[in-house]
């Protein structure tokens, strides 16, 4: 999705079709991809937080 929008914008910059050629479906797909990425980053930070807490608790016990 991101690559399609990049390609369309590059074409527009070199005199190709206007930016209106970027369809709402492409923007929608881009938004979905960004949403998935954000959710994955949120999961990574949660797991990292759990890992840090486990390391801290393990060092306190010893």
Asked whether the beta carbons of 26 and 1 are under 8 A apart, the reply is yes
In order, the DSSP letters of 27-45 are HHHHHHHHHHHHHHHHHHH
On the question of pLDDT at 54 being above 80, the answer is yes
pTM: 0.57
Give the mean pLDDT of 25-50.
91
Q: Which tokens is 16 given?
A: 């190709």
**Strongest mean pLDDT among 7-16, 35-44, 53-62:** 35-44
% of the chain with per-residue pLDDT over 90: 37
DSSP state of 17: S
Contact 18, 12 (CB under 8 A): yes
Of 33 and 2, the one with more pLDDT = 33
Element (DSSP H or E) covering residue 6: helix 2-13
């Amino acid at each position: 999705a991101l690559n399609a929008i990049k390609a369309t914008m590059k074409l527009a910059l070199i005199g190709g079709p206007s930016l209106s050629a970027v369809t709402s479906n492409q923007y929608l797909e881009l938004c979905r991809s960004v949403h998935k990425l954000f959710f994955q980053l949120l999961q990574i930070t949660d797991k990292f937080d759990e890992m840090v807490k486990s390391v801290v608790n393990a060092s306190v016990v010893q």
